[in-house]
Amino acid sequence: MIRVGLVGFGLSGRHLQAPFFLTHPDFELRSIVTSQELPLPRFQGVHRLSQWEDLLSDPEIDLVSICSPSSTHKEYAIKALQAGKHVLVEKPVAANPTDVEEMFDTARKCGKVLSVFHNRRFDSDFLTVKRVIKSGILGEILSYEAHFDRYKPELNPKAWKEAPDPTNGILYDLGAHLVDQAITLFGLPERFSGSVYTQRENSSVDDAFHLNLQMGKVQVFLRSSLLVKDQGPKYIIHGSKGSFTKYGMDVQEDHLVKGMLPVDSEFGFEPKDNRAYLRTQIHGLEIEGRIDTERGSWYHFFSALAASINGPSEPLIKFEQMHKQLEILNAVKNV
């Protein structure tokens, strides 16, 4: 049993991580650092702490999960590793590749696991994309386009998210997920370019971006904006034999915010309106139709995390992936 101390009780800590630590058999949620009262009965028996440093001296804590503001990630992660704890850190893992090197070097020297919360490797739509590409039904993949658009014209009520910090803004927030998914599919890119924009009035952080990655023969286009009222496809993929288009978003975050648990029977299933279309050719036969999406399963992220801590499994999140991700994000943000 991996005993967990959670730092932060906002969207990520309370809704996106705590339900998994409460329901996964390999974890026990022991303590949460927050100024809020913990809602009962769900958090019955979980200790509430006011200072995150209290986790570091607690021998009953094996894993520290950091869901505090992005600017604290490096400092908190290194201190927790040096205190002999395994660490899960919310994305973005850090501000730049040098920080990533320091964090992973510390983990290696301390003999501890450092992981990053890239839960969206297990989104329903992305799992469907992986299945379709792996099947070979599209032939050789030539073009991959992914969007993570929202419509949020108002500034974020959380002041720290609107502060002009290098780790704030949509590029480091949603861009981290899109880059991670692309690297998961196609490996490390050979070349990249991109731009960031600030479109909302009075915003101090970027709220739109586009990235172009070259991955062998695959041209990768990643897009995101907070001012997209009428959203188009989430994924558009073209191969030598066919094309794939996916509409709609994974529903796990929505389910968790509404109070569902990962073990609930309906959890992670997208509505039928979230369409996935395939058009391809097999032995001269033209095929066109809809594809059912996979069940979303962030639960598998936590299973992989437990396996890497308990050994001997390799970590799901690898240094080379995080280093390249921050190289891309940092370079584009500072053009």
Domain extents for the chain?
2-117+302-315, 120-296
Q: Which of 212, 80, 78, 225 is nearest to 143 (CA)?
A: 212
Mean pLDDT of 313-333: 97
Mean pLDDT of 53-80: 98
Separation between Cα atoms, residue 69 and residue 197, nearest integer Å:
22
Q: Exposed (0-12), middle (13-18) or buried (19+): which is 272, by Cβ within 10 Å?
A: exposed
Q: Find tokens 């959203």 and name the residue.
A: 231
Mean pLDDT of 189-201: 97
Alpha-carbon distances of 305 from 114, 118, 171, rounded to whole Å: 9, 11, 25
Separation between Cα atoms, residue 279 and residue 138, nearest integer Å:
8
Q: Find tokens 């969007």 and name the residue.
A: 147
Alpha-carbon distances of 139 from 133, 135, 237, rounded to whole Å: 8, 9, 11
Whole-structure pTM value: 0.97
Separation between Cα atoms, residue 107 and residue 111, nearest integer Å:
6
- Does 283 have pLDDT greater than 90? no
CA 155 to chain centre: 22
Q: What is the pLDDT of residue 273?
A: 85
Separation between Cα atoms, residue 7 and residue 18, nearest integer Å:
11
| pLDDT-based confidence at residue 278 (cuts at 50, 70, 90) | very high
Q: Which of 190, 206, 188 is nearest to 198 (CA)?
A: 206
pLDDT > 90: what percent of the chain?
94
Residue 236 corresponds to which tokens in the numbers above? 């558009």
Q: What is the pLDDT of residue 160?
A: 83
| pLDDT-based confidence at residue 312 (cuts at 50, 70, 90) | confident
Q: What value does the CA radius of gyration of the chain take, rounded to a whole number of Å?
A: 20
Separation between Cα atoms, residue 11 and residue 14, nearest integer Å:
6
Q: Find tokens 């769900």 and name the residue.
A: 42
Q: What is the pLDDT of residue 284?
A: 84
Q: Report the top-level CATH class of 2-117+302-315.
A: alpha beta
Separation between Cα atoms, residue 182 and residue 186, nearest integer Å:
6
Please give the single-letter amino acid code of residue 292. Answer: D
CATH of span 120-296: 3.30.360.10
| pLDDT-based confidence at residue 275 (cuts at 50, 70, 90) | confident
Residue 144 corresponds to which tokens in the numbers above? 């991959």
Q: What is the pLDDT of residues 67-120, one digit of tens each?
A: 999 999 999 999 999 999 999 999 999 999 999 999 999 999 999 999 999 999
Separation between Cα atoms, residue 105 and residue 64, nearest integer Å:
18
Helix (H, G, I), strand (E, B) or coil at 134: helix
- Does 159 have pLDDT greater than 80? no
Helix intervals (H) in 45-96 = 53-56, 73-82
Separation between Cα atoms, residue 37 and residue 21, nearest integer Å:
18
Residues with Cβ < 8 Å from 71, sequence gap 6 or more?
A: 95, 160, 165, 166, 167, 168
Helix or strand run (H / E) with residue 305: helix 299-310
Q: What is the pLDDT of residue 282?
A: 85
